Amino acid sequence: MMLLAIMASAAMQAESWTCSYPGALGGAPAVARFARDGDDLVETDLLNLRFRIVRDDTDALVAVDASTWASDGQTHSGANVINIDKHSGAFLRAELVAPSEGAARIVRGTCLAV
């Protein structure tokens, strides 16, 4: 019980997290590392993706990356949302792309404060 309280306290003060979630097509679990950099959350181990932190309180950290691009003569827009529950370590990543049909993906996993 004391260990859970220490872990929860560390998560509330964390500036970085290591998160894991199921890999694509039943593959090995994916691991993502995130670090706070000012008002941004940076995914440090892939493409150094930067997410704008829109909420950071004692309960959760929520960050968003949004972009637009042109492809095949059509304009697309997309958003990635990262949500880390600081009490439970629950992780949610939502990826949305418009106007593509069915271009939404949500993955759930867990995070540890580091």
C-beta of residue 66 within 8 angstroms of C-beta of residue 73: no
Q: Using one digit for the tens of pLDDT, what is the confidence trace for 42-94?
A: 999 867 899 999 999 999 999 999 998 888 888 888 999 999 999 999 999 99
Q: Of the given ranges (14-18, 95-99, 100-104), which has the lowest mean pLDDT?
A: 100-104
pTM above 0.85, yes or no: no
Please count the structural domains in the chain: 1
- The domain of 93 spans 2-113
Provide the pairing of β-strand 90-98 with 40-43.
Answer: unpaired
HEC per residue, the chain: CHHHHHHHHHHHHCCEEEEEECCHHHCCCEEEEEEEECCEEEECCCCCEEEEEEEECCCEEEEEEEEEEEECCEEEEEEEEEEEECCCCEEEEEEEEECCCCCEEEEEEEEEEC
